[in-house]
């Protein structure tokens, strides 16, 4: 038996007036997701809760069967650092470092206009040259997503950092990093200094001068969030008895895979955006299953569209995922023994442009199990499924037939 999980990040949504009271999932043409729902069993999954950060790290850990209340160290930084091969010592703190667009004191865009990796590397290398020390180290990542590591026991994770996608359109000054207690005071002071001092050197860089000339948003400021320390997680094979792999363009997910002992599969052209290589992900998933029992395929595009508040992009992301990835996998594995699931990790509703605690729809189809009466895949139809409402950490047991 082969097990496949296809996760559309932030794919779930809420009814929209613009869509006549329907959600993007209800409007999108997605025959392959509907096939999985119609021939399998459906339900709703609680992946996020108000007592913890509303992040994809929390949600995906739960989907993979790991309770973040037990294993989480405060932020996504260490997960992304691990994916980049950054070895963290016991007291090291890793933070996500976004390249953002600041305009007239306002956080205009969390992604620096979706700056390319090539452009971003130039900017992060400059920041490292200007601000880097033995204790302060910048590491270039992918697109607008990078890592800062603080290497000193005097720094603390007792700080409050706002994810930039949650505060677009708001004042920078009102959302700078704040200490949660006295131990976080020095850390917050340092990080805020780096944020504010980054603007003049980034704004005048040739990369941004070229972007401005072309009418693109510029990546003219750093933004830090997701501070945490090294995690200790049991291996996936020890927990579930499966040899597995994970496919994602996003360092957060790739970091989770490294911690869990899942093989990370590289896909040329996988971007973490709407232009990602869906077909390549499908092909590499099939290849991975030749020697493994389990593959987890993560697609970031629906979440990006949700954060942008662009309903048409979100519908397109759903339809591309369905046709170009799920359809290809189903056609290739026709006649094989398999269990395949589709779900989001969380909702990123168009109207609020950020993650919410809404339970998300999931569907599991297995060639060895009977389905229920659900006819299509969506938030409302899954609510009628035979699984009912489940906790996120129950998903893996359901996938395996529990």
| 46: confidence class by pLDDT, cuts 50, 70, 90 | very high
Question: Residue 334, Cβ neighbours under 10 Å: how many?
Answer: 8
The Cα–Cα gap between 146 and 9 comes to: 19
Task: Identify whether the C-beta of residue 260 lies closer than 8 Å to the C-beta of residue 236.
Answer: yes
Question: 227-241, pLDDT tens digit by residue?
Answer: 999 998 999 999 999
Residue 402, judged by CB atoms within 10 A of its CB (0-12, 13-18, 19+), counts as exposed
The Cα–Cα gap between 195 and 205 comes to: 16
pLDDT of 73: 79
| 402: confidence class by pLDDT, cuts 50, 70, 90 | low
Q: What phi and psi, each to the nearest 5 degrees, are found at residue 70? A: -95, -35
The Cα–Cα gap between 47 and 272 comes to: 21
pLDDT of 74: 79
3-class state of residue 307 by DSSP: helix
Q: What is the mean pLDDT of residues 241-258?
A: 96
With a pLDDT cut of 90, the percent of the chain lying above it is 96
Task: Find the largest Cα–Cα distance for the chain.
Answer: 62
pTM score > 0.95 for this model? no
Q: What is the mean pLDDT of residues 323-332?
A: 98
Average predicted confidence (pLDDT) for the chain: 97
Locate the domains of the chain by residue range: 2-72+234-399, 81-228
The Cα–Cα gap between 325 and 335 comes to: 18
Question: 133-156, pLDDT tens digit by residue?
Answer: 999 999 999 899 999 999 999 999
Pick the CATH number of 2-72+234-399 from 3.30.450.20, 3.40.50.12780, 3.40.50.970, 3.40.720.10: 3.40.720.10
């Amino acid at each position: 038996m082969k097990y496949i999980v296809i996760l559309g990040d932030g794919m779930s949504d809420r009814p929209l007036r613009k869509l006549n009271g329907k959600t993007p999932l209800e409007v999108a043409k997605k025959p392959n997701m509907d096939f999985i729902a119609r021939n399998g069993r459906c339900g709703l999954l609680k992946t996020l809760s108000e007592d913890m950060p509303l992040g994809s790290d929390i949600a995906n850990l739960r989907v993979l069967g790991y309770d973040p209340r037990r294993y989480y160290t405060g932020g996504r930084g260490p997960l992304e650092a691990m994916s980049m091969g950054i070895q963290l010592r016991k007291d090291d703190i890793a933070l996500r470092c976004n390249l953002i667009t600041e305009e007239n004191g306002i956080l205009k865009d969390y992604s620096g206009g979706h700056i390319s990796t090539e452009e971003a590397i130039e900017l992060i290398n400059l920041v490292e040259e200007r601000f880097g020390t033995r204790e302060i180290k910048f590491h270039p990542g992918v697109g607008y997503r990078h890592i800062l590591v603080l290497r000193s026991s005097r720094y603390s994770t007792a700080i409050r950092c706002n994810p930039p996608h949650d505060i677009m359109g708001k004042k920078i000054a009102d959302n700078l990093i704040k200490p949660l207690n006295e131990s976080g005071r020095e850390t917050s002071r340092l990080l805020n200094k780096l944020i504010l001092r980054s603007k003049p050197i980034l704004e005048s860089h040739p990369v941004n001068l070229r972007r401005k000339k072309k009418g693109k948003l510029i990546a003219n400021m750093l933004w830090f969030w997701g501070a945490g320390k090294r995690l200790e997680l049991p291996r996936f094979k020890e927990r579930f008895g499966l040899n597995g792999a994970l496919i994602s363009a996003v360092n957060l997910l790739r970091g989770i895979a490294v911690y869990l002992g899942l093989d990370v599969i590289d896909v040329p052209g996988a971007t973490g955006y709407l232009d990602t290589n869906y077909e390549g992900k499908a092909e590499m998933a099939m290849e991975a299953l030749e020697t493994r029992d389990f593959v987890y395929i993560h697609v970031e595009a629906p979440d990006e569209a949700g954060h942008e508040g662009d309903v048409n992009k979100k519908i397109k992301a759903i339809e591309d995922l369905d046709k170009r990835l799920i359809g290809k996998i189903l056609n290739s594995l026709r006649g094989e023994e398999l269990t395949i699931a589709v779900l989001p990790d969380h909702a990123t509703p168009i109207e609020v442009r950020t993650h919410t605690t809404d339970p998300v729809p999931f569907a599991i189809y297995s060639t060895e199990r009977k389905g229920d009466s659900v006819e299509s895949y969506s938030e409302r139809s899954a609510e009628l499924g035979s699984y009912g409402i489940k906790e996120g950490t129950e998903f893996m047991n359901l996938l395996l037939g529990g």
